[in-house]
A and B are shown apart, each in its own frame.
Chain A
Amino acid sequence: LANPHAQVAYDRSAEELLGEEYVVAPLRRHTLPPVTDGCAAVVLAAGDRAFELCARPAFITGIDHRLEAHAIGARDLTRSPSTELAGQKAGVANGSVDVAELHAPFAHQELILARALGLGAGVDISPSGGALAANPLMSAGLIRIGEAARAIWSGKADRAVAHATSGPCLQQNLVCVLEGV
């Protein structure tokens, strides 16, 4: 509701949502992403140039991406080892996280990703509404980085994590750590 770029926005109770028919059990409409037209762009600047262009730049202090096997039968789909590994390489645990923007086009994936990244109860997860609010497939990951940067620009976060996924059932995952100074 607070994101003017969101496609799907409403304030409804959990009881009301659980009253929906299944689309395919156990998935109901509210656990699925919308079909979206959209585009995202992010401008990167190196070093001190960022301070000339932006009052409070969001510096990328870690970024990594990892891949899993394609065959879903070869994977434990209740975990996301590629997110765990990318999170370690990007240094997610090297400080406290204020905001995490997770690319979870299916609601249950947010739980798997939050656990893979070790995000505790104090982390504000996907304040933009995430991919459940707007899912322009190939740019839905990039805008997670944009939204995490926006949280730093505004001072809402000092340290933020952004995540993007590709492939069936979270096959490929990217983790980006952003910090304000």
Chain B
Amino acid sequence: MSERCAVIGIGQTVAKSKREDVSIAGLVREAAIMALDDAGLTFADIDAVVVGKAPDMFEGVMMPELYLAGALGAVGKPMLRVHTAGSVGGSTAIVAAHLVASGIHDRVLTVAFEKQSDSDAMWALSVPQPFSSPLLAGAGGYFAPIIRAYMHRSGAPRDIGMRVAVKDRRHALLNPYAHLHLTDISMKMVEDSIMLWDPLHYLEACPSSDGAAAMIIGSERAAAQAASETGRRPAWIHGMAMRSEPTMFAGRDQVNPLAGRDCAADLYRQAGISDPRADFDMAEVYVPFSWYEPMWLENLGFCPEGDGWKLTGAGATSLIDGGDIPWNCSGGVLSSNPIGASGMLRFLETALQIRGLAGEHQVPDARRALGHAYGGGSQFFAMWVVGVDRP
């Protein structure tokens, strides 16, 4: 990166099953205006707009960014659309930040969304398409055998996934924007829920949500101006990285994908991270199915390979239990899943923590945080590090 850049405005809608009061345009505009208000700006101050969402087939609106031009104040401006499956919200934020880091723009609005109630994501992920391997029964059906391989490989006890499901739902009770507020969540409640894709119970899977997320990425100059006008400090971007690999190839490690490890290594080099568990104060990591927490703990280098479940089991990732490295204090994807926005929500939540604005789910004195998103068949990765200190 050449120019310093920071998150200077944040907006998110309350995630819900059905937002029947707004169209997609209304939904994204709601988040965008919240982010502009937070930064003390209006649409007129924005140089460019970067939009992300998951496959167009989810809502059946092809190239929705064109239709959203007016709602996002993009007329007369550059607008880019990003699409990297489930990781898209993270990739979108990175593309927006690159437009500032490269010195092209001062203030970029980035927005990601999904309106799952307009759509049938299960169908869109299950319908056979030519020349591609079918996902069969949606994303859960694809990931369950990989989780079983992880359990076999690591010797993790069967209750680890349920622990994550409970932990993230307890975190969600502290986040007013979360979709699921399961006040009586317990291990028994998860265990008693229907088995969807062995070993995943219903309550070990993410919900289906309508929601949008928005951020304003600003240059050093824009960050200084926003801070002085709003009194809210910026979340400086210390590094960002993306990596991809094919869905299938001989010898591919689907449990611990190389692209994820390479992405983290590049990111940590940029941000000067040598021991992620010690160097980060918190992390927001894309965990749509419970078992992906221990798997990503290993993939992201928070512990040696095979030990991820031990951190989860010991409560190390729980904010409420006082763990040393809280993961997904917002409730994570397990508590809100507007698919295209889910990656951006991870990035946004790290910025919220660094700015000290996370409210009840704030990690005390969070100074450096990891945002992570993955998509496709664990093949697209997007990550960033944000911090209180100007890099």
Contacts and interface: CB of A to CB of B under 8 A. Distances in A.
A71 B70 CA distance: 9
A85 interface: yes
- Greatest chain B CB density within 10 A among A74, A82, A168, A172 is at A172
B74 A67 contact: yes
B76 A70 contact: no
A69 B69 contact: yes
Interface of B: 63, 66-70, 74-79
B76 A66 contact: yes
A139 interface: no
B247 to A, nearest CB: 20
B77 A69 contact: no
Contacts of B75: 67-69
A70 B70 contact: yes
A67 B69 CA distance: 7
A172 B78 CA distance: 9
A26 interface: no
A166 B76 CA distance: 14
Determine the main DSSP class of B at the interface with A. Answer: loop
Nearest to A65: B78
Given A65-B78, A65-B79, A67-B76, 18 more contacts: A64-B78, A66-B78, A67-B66, A67-B74, A67-B75, A68-B69, A68-B76, A69-B69, A69-B70, A70-B68, A74-B70, A166-B63, A166-B66, A167-B63, A167-B66, A171-B66, A171-B69, A172-B66
Contact of A66 (B66, B67, B68, B77): B77
Contacts of A69: 69-70, 75
Contacts of B76: 66-68, 81-82, 85
B67 A67 contact: no
B183 to A, nearest CB: 43
A171 B70 CA distance: 12
Nearest to B79: A67
Contact of B79 (A74, A81, A172): A172
B41 to A, nearest CB: 19
A174 B68 CA distance: 18
B99 to A, nearest CB: 12
Interface in A62-86: 64-71, 74, 81-82, 85
A61 to B, nearest CB: 15
A172 B75 CA distance: 9
Contacts of B66: 67, 70, 166-168, 171-172
A19 B66 CA distance: 37
Contacts of A167: 63, 66
A67 B79 CA distance: 7
B47 to A, nearest CB: 11
A82 B74 CA distance: 11
Contact of B77 (A67, A166, A168): A67
A171 B76 CA distance: 10
22 contacts: A64-B78, A65-B78, A65-B79, A66-B76, A66-B78, A67-B74, A67-B75, A67-B76, A67-B78, A68-B69, A68-B75, A69-B69, A70-B66, A70-B69, A81-B76, A85-B76, A166-B63, A166-B66, A167-B66, A171-B69, A172-B66, A172-B79
Contacts of A66: 76-78
A171 B79 CA distance: 11
B77 to A, nearest CB: 6
B24 to A, nearest CB: 12
B78 to A, nearest CB: 5
A70 B78 contact: no
A172 B67 CA distance: 11
Contacts of A168: 66
B140 to A, nearest CB: 32
A66 B67 CA distance: 14
A168 B69 CA distance: 13
A69 to B, nearest CB: 5
Interface in A146-178: 166-168, 171-172
Q: Which are the 7 A-B pairs with shortest beta-carbon distances?
A: A167-B66, A67-B79, A70-B67, A65-B78, A67-B74, A67-B69, A69-B75
Nearest to A86: B78
A102 B77 CA distance: 20
A67 B66 CA distance: 8
A62 B76 CA distance: 17
Contacts of A67: 66, 69, 74-79
A39 to B, nearest CB: 15
Contacts of A65: 78-79
B103 to A, nearest CB: 14
Interface string A83-97: 001000000000000
A31 to B, nearest CB: 23
A108 B70 CA distance: 26
Nearest to A67: B79
A173 to B, nearest CB: 10
- Greatest chain B CB density within 10 A among A64, A69, A85, A168 is at A69
Contacts of B78: 64-67
Contacts of B68: 70
Contacts of A74: 70
Nearest to B67: A70
A71 B25 CA distance: 13
